[in-house]
Structure 1
Amino acid sequence: MFDRTVITPRLRARFSSAGQRAKPHLRTVVLALIALTVLFTLSSVRHLAAAIATRHSLAGGSDYDLNHKLLANTQDVVDKGSPHWLQDGTIHRSTTSVRGNAPVEKDKATLSEQLQRRSEVKSTGGYAVESIRTSSQQDLLQTTLAKSGNCNIMNNTDYWGEPVKWGPNNKLASAEACCANCHSYQPSTSEDLNCNVWVYCGDKDKCGNQYMDCWLKHLAHPAAVAPKSGREIPWTAGILLPAAQHEAATTQMMEEEVDRRYHIVITAQGAATHWQARVHYYWYKKVKEQCEAAGKCDMGGFTRLLHSGHLDELMDEIPSFVANPLPDEGHKGYVVLNRPYAFVQWLQGAAITEKYVFMSEPDHIWLKPMPNLMVGQRPASFPFFYIEPSKTEFLPITQKFTGPLSRKQAEKIAPVGNAPTLLSLAQLHKMAPTWMNTSMAIFSDEQANKEWGWVLEMYGFAISCFKEDVGPIDLHLKMMSQPPWDEKMDPYYLLHYTYGNDYTLEGTFTPGKIGAWRFDKRSYSEKPPPRNLGDPPDGMKNELVRHLINALNEATNHIPGWDEYSASGRATQFWDGKL
């Protein structure tokens, strides 16, 4: 540093002159820093709002405590009016409304349009709040739209989905108005996502800053998603079903047929499915007996489709059809590829008297008689959330086996596998060869095999139904339970014990951690489980897990010679089918 005592007047003048010249530059730098700070702040707020939307999209929006805190951080911005980057071009800011006495139309589009025209918009806190007029005619319109089935209003329920209109800048006065908003939503282009799911937060105390938020969302298959529900959830939700699904869900109109029986088929190969098939057949027989005792019963005959190529010791205990497997080089250890090949052989060689086929699996336990759930010629199936052929990263893979498809077209591929699925025998004849060939093509494609892995044959089934125009497929979440994630017996027809069940000795569920008490079918991959498996802890509240153990114990105690069978893995005594 300079010592001020040795600076000469001439040198001081030079420094002073330089300082004067530097001041404009300094002001420029300061102003630039201020501008950058403002831009950074706005950008941060924008990303914060985007994070809120993303969290609501992925988590369903029910984590309102966290979202409340996030929104509180932007309240100073909100109070001064919604910034341009948070505004939605579809928000109405007009304070005028259309009055009139137009007749109430039954058509849902007309109802929605009338409801929207008769809405009055008020500006609150920088947001548009839609206040539905309380005239009797408009109340009737709103009520008619809600009761027509197009809203499917569910209280204390939240759906996840891809947002097409954010809740924070879509404040509406009621759940019915939110439904109407979803119903009338128009995507910008034909390829943009439409609204088929809406969620509304109408509890002022619980919703906090999310009060009156109306999120418009899109799901490829709303009927395939189990929403989050419970008294603690302040959201009200609804889904807009396509006309065909809406008819199925609300009227359950069936074709008038005298005989709607379906033939049950399970596929099997290996030690694990050997004992599972015996348990399955026991419960099939017991539930079918209950079904027939109650009157008209749609449950028909039974076949174990054994795709090992060899007879086994259960041929006289369980009605079976033996199919040849693919050559080893055809499946390279992925024996599931034998399944569609086995169905092709079964359809060619078996005499099937029923007009319908229900494809099930050995690790399904019948809980109660299931009616034929098909409506007309629409198959009925259980949806699997992990079958996503229209997903952005999967669409190019899907197109390898379908040809060019838009995302909307790909969403017509149902998220299903072959089991459990109910379809007509004619439909199975039509699609089975394509299912076999498509599954083998997917297996042989390096990218598809890597991405779809162990469920690639399920993708093969879903894509083949689409290619062969077998559908649309009605999705039934209540067809099958999957404990421990499902807990209550009602309303399911089947119990699928594919997941491990782990609990502490006090009965607390420990997902992802081996419990002090547990049941997992994989523990019995080589040999059957013993008779009289230990009961779950008294404090365990899951009805389905408790029923699973009771069902296994009942079957293994009823089938003769189970102790020896459990010890050796080979059956020497057989059940005669009598209950």
Structure 2
Amino acid sequence: MERTLPSKSRRRWVLATLLLITVCYSWSAVNELAELIEAEPDELPDSSSSLLSRAEHNIAAHLHVPHRITKFRGQVGSEMPGGGAASSTGSSSSGGKQAITLPAKQGGGAAAAATTAGTGGGSAGGQCSMLENTDYWGEALVAGAANKKATAAKCCASCRLYTPEASKDMMSCNVWVWCGDAQLCGSYHQDCWLKHLAHPYGTAPARVGPDVGWTTGIMTPKPDPAALGAGGEERRFHVVITAAGAATHWQSRVGYYWYKKIKKQCEEAGNCQMGSFTRLLHTGQPDDLMNEIPTWVAQPLPAEHPDHGYIVLNRPYALMQWVQQVTIPEKYVLMSEPDHVWLKPMPNLMRGEHPAAFPFFYIEPSKKEYNHIVAKFVGPVTREDSEEIAPIGNAPTIMSWEDMKKVMPLFFNMSIAVHNDADASKEWGWVQEMYAFTLSAYKAGIRGIDLHLEMMSQPPYDEKLAPFYLLHYTYGMDYTLQGEFTPGKYGEWRFDKRSYSGNPPPRNLGEPPPGMKNELVRHLIHAINEASNAIPGWDDYAKTGVAKELWDGVV
């Protein structure tokens, strides 16, 4: 007779077996990730990899959920009662805020346009750099209601004297907000919130203006900005974009037109640091714009590394091929994108050899909830360590050609590893490739990346042309016929680049409503119209998507 274990023993045996399998699988997965990141590109696992198979379902689930993209629109934090902006995790969770708004020069002066990643720092020796009528985000260390102070100076002193606590990851107080206007603050009058913010000068304030009763103080000193234009032509930077498909086809033409026009203005003004231009076409085949836009053809991802519909994975592979196979006359590179419209000449924003980049509020490598994911790819990191990982993607970023050659192979390997990891692909979704870039820069030993809010605008959540260099038209722009902004709702007047994913937009797009006050949205429509009228044969191009007539590059 066959003997069987008692039911209680069987349950224990099954649970023990499952636990052992889980431990072994987790150990194997983490080690495979580490090997993948360090591997040479030709050593990457093929499509039978357990990691690749495991990630396939997770990635596919994210690529067709529009709300995962629209939820990013204009969010820079969550609002605490009474107007004190805070975030319990440093994450972004409320809508309707402008993604990029530089504080006005008032009170103690505006926050610097540039900051260095990782200089969140402590409050020891901090200065009371006060920004009146300004409310900042930050991870709350001490709630304002429990920390009433009679003056802003006393609130600043409270921040300086704050002792980090283990329960709050030993984070220091580097930002404070104090509500000093009795009429505007109401019951929150004299509340003094103590906070920690990973990148104070690289984060847009929550609110700015005469109707804001809060005063913000940033304890860390402003980094010395780069001497703009210093170094002359020796500091020229090459501009590279990556492209494939119908949408980026017309965007590249518009973007190149404005690059040429602004570069001409730059050269006429003298001491221009805008260099030459490359469209990096990652289709493996030449196209009909080869004689209009300087283009280098890269191979798409090989069959053993399918992108599962996440076409952005081709970008790091294309950039790796480019830096390994070409030489350029410039020592520096600006990585840009097809949907960037140039607004004015950009100098080399780098300090020395430190990269300069635009900070994205939704890239949060220092977020506590992501620490275990980040550690898979760069090794164990403390919260303080993770603040050295800049909140950036690869574009727009300026870095040296030598750093490009170090980072791009890592970027390719890292993007595959992140794509194949279930946790990372679930949490980071469509922007996983951006995380892969900043993790790669950190892995390559690059520290002190300067963050520049003025590098790029993102309408409709940014409104003014000044002080930006680039316009990024990634979000839909919806307005009533009276000019009222209707975020999240189709407007009676609207522009969204996704409406032209198949064929290019027609010439002479309709003017925004007269009452619409957003300078950047209006400028964008004018910019597309100017380019489509200057490039010959656009009417036929808008119908067919084929460039039968080419622009000669003369502006």
Same fold, judged at TM 0.5 (above): yes
> TM (normalized to structure 1)?
0.73
Partner Cα separation in structure 2 for residue 60 and residue 377 of structure 1:
39
Which residue of the other structure, out of 357, 361, 370, is the alignment partner of 1:385? 361
The corresponding residue for 2:24 is none
Structure-to-structure mapping, 1:103-182, within 5 angstroms: 150-182=127-159
Partner Cα separation in structure 2 for residue 253 and residue 559 of structure 1:
33
Structure-to-structure mapping, 1:343-382, within 5 angstroms: 343-382=319-358
The corresponding residue for 1:224 is 202
1:255 positional shift:
6.9
1:112 positional shift:
7.1
Partner Cα separation in structure 1 for residue 195 and residue 383 of structure 2:
16
1:225 positional shift:
2.0
1:397 positional shift:
1.0
1:172 positional shift:
2.3
The corresponding residue for 1:125 is none
Q: Is the 8 A contact 2:232 2:272 kept in 1?
A: no
The alignment covers a number of residue pairs equal to 442
Partner Cα separation in structure 2 for residue 57 and residue 497 of structure 1:
22
1:215 positional shift:
0.9
The corresponding residue for 1:63 is 83
1:151 positional shift:
3.3
- Distance change >3 Å, CA 310–CA 389, structure 1 → 2: same
Partner Cα separation in structure 2 for residue 62 and residue 278 of structure 1:
48
Letter of the 1:201 partner, please give it.
C
The corresponding residue for 1:512 is 488
The corresponding residue for 1:270 is 245
Which residue of the other structure, out of 250, 260, 268, is the alignment partner of 2:235? 260
Structure-to-structure mapping, 1:374-523, within 5 angstroms: 374-523=350-499
Deviates more, 1:175-184 or 1:447-456: 175-184
Partner Cα separation in structure 1 for residue 232 and residue 273 of structure 2:
11
Cα deviation 1:205-263 (Å, max 9, x = unaligned): 2222222221110122223321111211100112233x6xx2334x7588756611100
Matched residue SS, 2:239? strand
The corresponding residue for 1:133 is none
The corresponding residue for 2:55 is none
Q: Is the 8 A contact 1:62 1:158 kept in 2?
A: no
Partner Cα separation in structure 2 for residue 57 and residue 323 of structure 1:
39
1:489 positional shift:
0.5
Partner Cα separation in structure 2 for residue 437 and residue 334 of structure 1:
15
Partner Cα separation in structure 2 for residue 310 and residue 303 of structure 1:
16
Q: Is the 8 A contact 1:62 1:233 kept in 2?
A: no
Matched residue SS, 1:259? helix
Partner Cα separation in structure 1 for residue 291 and residue 528 of structure 2:
21
- 1:215 equivalent to 2:235? Answer no
Partner Cα separation in structure 2 for residue 188 and residue 437 of structure 1:
37
The corresponding residue for 2:100 is none
Matched residue SS, 1:394? helix
Q: Is the 8 A contact 1:157 1:230 kept in 2?
A: yes
- Distance change >3 Å, CA 464–CA 280, structure 1 → 2: same
Structure-to-structure mapping, 1:241-252, within 5 angstroms: 241=220, 246-249=222-225, 252=227
Partner Cα separation in structure 2 for residue 293 and residue 529 of structure 1:
31
Q: Is the 8 A contact 2:506 2:539 kept in 1?
A: yes
The corresponding residue for 2:214 is 235
Cα deviation 1:17-49 (Å, max 9, x = unaligned): xxxxxxxxxxxxxxxxxxxxxxxxxxxxxxxxx
Q: Identity of aligned pairs, percent?
A: 58
Letter of the 1:59 partner, please give it.
E
Q: Is the 8 A contact 1:60 1:160 kept in 2?
A: no
Letter of the 1:270 partner, please give it.
G
More helix by share: 1
1:458 positional shift:
0.5
Q: Is the 8 A contact 1:255 1:376 kept in 2?
A: no
Kindly report the root-mean-square deviation, in angstroms, between the aligned alpha carbons of the 2 structures.
2.3
1:322 positional shift:
0.4
1:179 positional shift:
2.5
Matched residue SS, 1:153? strand
- Distance change >3 Å, CA 517–CA 328, structure 1 → 2: farther
Matched residue SS, 1:237? strand
Matched residue SS, 1:488? coil
Letter of the 2:282 partner, please give it.
H
Partner Cα separation in structure 2 for residue 256 and residue 266 of structure 1:
25
- Distance change >3 Å, CA 439–CA 112, structure 1 → 2: closer
Partner Cα separation in structure 2 for residue 370 and residue 300 of structure 1:
11
Partner Cα separation in structure 2 for residue 577 and residue 570 of structure 1:
18
Consecutive unaligned residues of structure 2, counting only runs of 5 or more, are: 1-75, 85-120
Greater relative contact order, per chain length (Cα 8 Å cut-off, separation 6+): 2
- 1:184 equivalent to 2:161? Answer yes
Matched residue SS, 1:469? coil
1:535 positional shift:
0.1
Matched residue SS, 1:171? coil
The corresponding residue for 1:130 is none
Q: Is the 8 A contact 2:229 2:347 kept in 1?
A: no
Letter of the 2:210 partner, please give it.
R
Matched residue SS, 2:223? helix
1:174 positional shift:
2.3
Letter of the 1:501 partner, please give it.
M
Matched residue SS, 1:177? helix
Cα deviation 1:380-415 (Å, max 9, x = unaligned): 111111111222221111111111111221121111
Deviates more, 1:475-484 or 1:405-414: 405-414
The corresponding residue for 1:323 is 298
The corresponding residue for 2:274 is 299
1:449 positional shift:
1.3
Q: Is the 8 A contact 1:198 1:214 kept in 2?
A: yes
Partner Cα separation in structure 1 for residue 265 and residue 231 of structure 2:
24
The corresponding residue for 2:103 is none
- 1:280 equivalent to 2:255? Answer yes
Cα deviation 1:479-511 (Å, max 9, x = unaligned): 110000000000000000000001111111111
- Distance change >3 Å, CA 367–CA 257, structure 1 → 2: closer
Partner Cα separation in structure 2 for residue 318 and residue 238 of structure 1:
47
Letter of the 1:182 partner, please give it.
C
- Distance change >3 Å, CA 469–CA 167, structure 1 → 2: same
1:61 positional shift:
5.5
Letter of the 1:63 partner, please give it.
G
Greater Rg over alpha carbons, structure: 1
Which residue of the other structure, out of 171, 175, 182, is the alignment partner of 1:204? 182
Q: Is the 8 A contact 1:254 1:375 kept in 2?
A: no
Letter of the 2:406 partner, please give it.
K
Letter of the 1:319 partner, please give it.
P
Partner Cα separation in structure 2 for residue 460 and residue 417 of structure 1:
8
Q: Is the 8 A contact 1:61 1:160 kept in 2?
A: no
Which residue of the other structure, out of 532, 535, 541, is the alignment partner of 2:508? 532
- Distance change >3 Å, CA 197–CA 573, structure 1 → 2: same
Q: Is the 8 A contact 1:287 1:366 kept in 2?
A: yes
1:169 positional shift:
2.3
Partner Cα separation in structure 2 for residue 411 and residue 247 of structure 1:
16
> TM (normalized to structure 2)?
0.76
Letter of the 1:267 partner, please give it.
T
